[in-house]
Amino acid sequence: MKIAIIGAGNMGGAIARGLASLGQDMELAVANPSQPKLVALREYSSKIQTFTDNVEAANGADMLILAVKPWLIEKVLREIDAEVDLSSTMIVSVAAGVSLDDLASFMTEGEKRAIFIAMPNTAIAVRQSMTFVCHNANATAEQVAMVKTVFDAMGQSAVIEERQMTAATALCSCGIAFAMRYVRAATEGGVELGIYAHQAKDYVLQTLRGAVELLEATGNHPEAEIDRVTTPGGITIRGLNAMEAHGFTNAVIQGLKASK
Ligand SMILES: NC(=O)c1ccc[n+]([C@@H]2O[C@H](COP(=O)([O-])OP(=O)(O)OC[C@H]3O[C@@H](n4cnc5c(N)ncnc54)[C@H](OP(=O)(O)O)[C@@H]3O)[C@@H](O)[C@H]2O)c1
């Protein structure tokens, strides 16, 4: 299988590195207009072929991953479509705000193409992304499985309907910033309580790691795990209730809704 990635920035570069590390037999081509990011990719892995010409990179690709800024998607896709037969190519866009219909309209006979949107988050750089994938009706089950395999290799992926994409993006792409803000808030609270900032951040991160692993290992609802920590009349329930009195749950929900 040949995978071509157009754009070697944060997203395209992370996807290329993730795929190159898979150890699977695949041809990997990456295109970018300027050399420095391509040089870095070549240095990362000899499996990555690099091009400054999008058409050359896309030629013969089974999967074409478009990782340029949203406003460049139309230009880039039209340019490739004019020169390359995309009739049996899976078209995968990671651009925010570009719909499946938009992508089809950027190609001749686009209504016949297998088109996907994949929405990773920035943790793709450390292969811990939560990536959502949606597709049009032309995508076969086998093609959907192939796209999912690519993004599963860089964290976890879930196939959802396009209508759920905005909500999923708020939850997990914006959500990574919300999680970071919790880390910052908890760190600042720790400092006020008397812990050095750099230590407080490390302690918060390990506490969050523990919370994630507890929930994954037990399959419990978060509230069940909270019940295990909250001694009647104890300090944890006092802390939780103070947070709720200051609008914690509501602030998170309102933030997610504002991000849609
Ligand atoms: N970052 C995120 O958290 C995130 C999450 C989900 C989805 N996305 C989506 O991912 C896409 C890429 O975002 P990014 O953060 O990776 O942006 P980025 O770091 O700016 O990368 C975009 C790359 O595209 C290259 N490029 C520019 N014009 C091109 C052309 N005509 N042909 C081929 N490559 C071209 C740029 O090269 P030069 O720099 O050399 O000009 C740059 O390396 C966006 O559509 C964004 O919506 C991003």
Residue 168 belongs to some domain of the structure: no
Q: Ligand 1 center to residue 170 CA distance, Å? A: 20
Which CATH number goes with the domain that contains 23? 3.40.50.720
Taking the model in full, what pTM does it have? 0.93
Domain co-membership, 153 together with 203: no
Domain co-membership, 129 together with 187: no
Q: What is the number of the ligand 1 atom nearest to the C-alpha of 93? A: 45
- Total structural domains in the chain? 2
155-159 vs 63-66, strand pairing mode: unpaired
Q: Whose CA is nearest to atom 21 of ligand 1?
A: 9
Domain co-membership, 93 together with 218: no
**Full residue range of the structural domain in which residue 134 is found:** 2-160
Residue 165 belongs to some domain of the structure: no
Domain co-membership, 12 together with 71: yes
Q: Ligand 1 center to residue 36 CA distance, Å? A: 14
How does pLDDT run along the chain (260 residues), one tens digit per residue? 999 999 999 999 999 999 998 877 889 999 999 999 999 999 999 999 999 999 999 999 999 999 999 999 999 999 999 999 999 999 999 999 999 999 999 999 999 999 999 999 999 989 999 999 999 999 999 999 999 999 999 999 999 999 999 999 999 999 999 999 999 999 999 999 999 999 999 999 999 999 999 999 999 999 999 999 999 999 999 999 999 999 999 999 999 999 98
